[in-house]
Amino acid sequence: MKGLLRLYPRSWRKRYGAEMEILVEETSGGVGVALDLLVGAAIAYRDVIRRDRVLSAAGAYLHGACVAVLLQAIAFVTLILAGQRSPEPTDLHAGPFYFATVVGTQPWSGDELRQQLSAALGLSAPFPWLPELALLVGLVLVLVVMLATPRLLRSLR
């Protein structure tokens, strides 16, 4: 359990490390204490970062890059969702610049045949877009958590 104290910033450990080690030794341990220590480490790092202007900007830079990556992943899945079942190629372009192309499955493909067969046999209605939609919902949820994280960290005491 004492190993978790190494996750704290060095300045914090210099000041409170010895006291905290004694405190941790006196507790019985367990998942609750480990979680407390982890949240405490996050708060300690937040305080160190917020005190310094450059570190604060660097943290914001990393956060912005992570949000950008997630937005691009969402755009990718949305493009697939829009273009996968289209018989014509779907292009994502701005003027002469073509960014991406999706070529959907053809009407004669096994996928379509399977759908027609399931419909003819009265089987449950197929939802071919379900994996894409599930992925999209998952990504949007991760994005929401990512956007809310700075606010959550600020509210931690």
Partner 1 sequence: MRRVVAAVSVVLLIALSVAVAEASLLVMLFVFTSILRLTFGVELGDQWLTLYAPRYAPVASVVIHHAGTIASLVFTLACGLGAASWRYRRWRPA
Q: Which positions lie near partner 1, rule CB under 8 A?
A: 47, 50-51, 53-54, 56-69, 71-73, 76-77, 79-80, 83-84, 92-93, 97-106, 109-111, 131-132, 135
Q: Which is nearer to partner 1, 18 or 134 (CB)?
A: 134
- Shortest CB 8 distance to partner 1, Å: 18
Q: Which is nearer to partner 1, 33 or 82 (CB)?
A: 82
Query: What whole-number distance in Å separates Cα of residue 147 and Cα of residue 15?
Result: 32
Q: Which is nearer to partner 1, 14 or 50 (CB)?
A: 50
- Shortest CB 110 distance to partner 1, Å: 4
For 27, the enclosing helix (H) or strand (E) is none
CA 74 → CA 84, 128, 132, 140, 143, distances in Å? Answer: 15, 18, 10, 7, 9
Q: Which is nearer to partner 1, 16 or 76 (CB)?
A: 76
CA 8 → CA 1, 15, 20, 44, 67, distances in Å? Answer: 13, 11, 11, 7, 26
- Shortest CB 80 distance to partner 1, Å: 6
Query: What whole-number distance in Å separates Cα of residue 4 and Cα of residue 11?
Result: 15
- Shortest CB 94 distance to partner 1, Å: 8
Q: Which is nearer to partner 1, 17 or 104 (CB)?
A: 104
Asked if 113 and 124 touch (Cβ cutoff 8 Å), the reply is no
- Shortest CB 116 distance to partner 1, Å: 14
- Tell me which residue has tokens 């160190």: 48
The widest CA-to-CA distance across the chain, in whole angstroms, is: 73
